């Protein structure tokens, strides 16, 4: 990959008139996936990264910051920064998801493509499978999208248009919605119905939204 080069012109006094400064931008590339899943209680192994400046390997100058705690289930981030001598930086980041494989509910779920949205009586299938995270927070669970990925993944709007939520699951599999929010639109679910099958590790959910939309989806643990 070619490094970007910027030209800067010095002020025109007699000593610097006509002098051109050249800034060579660093190149930073991550090795491995941008999102990693790590089993709770196991060490996080950095997949690696490379940084170059004007063709020279400067990977040892990369500053890495991480909040990863593999003893606690959750979503974490690792940031990488390389800065040249003129103060210009190149940044990259990686998401690390810590999950407990022994937890009955916690994990990555796949939405059934036959799930559907009901918009004012018009039924539209999801048409593809999307991954949803469910994380144990103690007395309740965090779900990263209670709309099954409809806007965030299917429509490609991004994570701001996922409906993050918190649910409680009773021993009989009935689900209570504790809280929900869609950051991009600043609203939440109108109503919610759901059950969890502990034998098949399957959620059946109906989320009511924006007065006229219903999301009916089934998702099963991977």
pLDDT tens digits, one per residue of 176-187: 999 999 999 999
Measure the CA–CA gap between 98 and 142, rounded to whole angstroms.
13
**For residue range 37-91, what is the model confidence (pLDDT) as tens digits?**
999 999 999 999 999 999 999 999 999 999 999 999 999 999 999 999 999 999 9
The contacts found for 158-162 with CB under 8 angstroms, 24 or more apart, are: 158/184, 160/184, 161/185
- The pLDDT score that the predictor gives to residue 10 is 42
Residue 68: CB partners within 8 Å, gap ≥ 6? 38, 44, 76, 78, 96, 98
- The pLDDT score that the predictor gives to residue 22 is 87
User: Is the pTM of the predicted complex or chain greater than 0.95?
Assistant: no
- The pLDDT score that the predictor gives to residue 55 is 93
Return the SS3 of 72.
Answer: coil
What is the mean predicted confidence (pLDDT) over 130-136? Answer: 98
Return the SS3 of 123.
Answer: strand
**For residue range 139-196, what is the model confidence (pLDDT) as tens digits?**
999 999 999 999 999 999 999 999 999 999 999 999 999 999 999 999 999 999 999 9
What is the mean predicted confidence (pLDDT) over 111-122? Answer: 98
**For residue range 8-30, what is the model confidence (pLDDT) as tens digits?**
444 444 444 544 468 999 999 99
């Amino acid at each position: 990959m070619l490094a970007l080069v910027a030209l800067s012109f010095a002020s025109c006094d007699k000593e610097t008139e006509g002098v051109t400064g050249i800034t060579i931008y660093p190149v930073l590339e991550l090795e491995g996936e941008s999102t990693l899943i790590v089993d709770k209680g196991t060490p996080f192994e950095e997949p690696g990264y490379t940084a170059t400046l004007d063709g020279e390997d400067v990977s040892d100058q990369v500053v890495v910051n991480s909040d990863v705690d593999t003893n606690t289930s959750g979503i974490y981030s690792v940031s990488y920064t390389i800065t040249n001598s003129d103060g210009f930086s190149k940044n990259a980041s990686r998401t690390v998801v810590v999950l407990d494989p022994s937890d009955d509910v916690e994990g990555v779920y796949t939405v059934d493509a036959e799930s559907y949205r009901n918009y004012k009586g018009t039924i539209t299938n999801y048409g593809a499978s999307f991954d949803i995270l469910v994380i144990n927070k103690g007395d309740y669970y965090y779900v990263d999208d209670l709309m099954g990925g409809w806007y965030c993944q299917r429509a490609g709007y991004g994570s701001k248009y996922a409906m993050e939520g918190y649910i409680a699951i009773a021993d009989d599999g009935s689900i209570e919605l504790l809280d929900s929010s869609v950051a991009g639109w600043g609203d939440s679910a109108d109503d919610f119905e759901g059950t969890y099958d502990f034998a098949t590790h399957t959620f059946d959910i109906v989320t009511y939204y924006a007065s006229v939309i219903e999301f009916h989806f089934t998702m099963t643990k991977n």
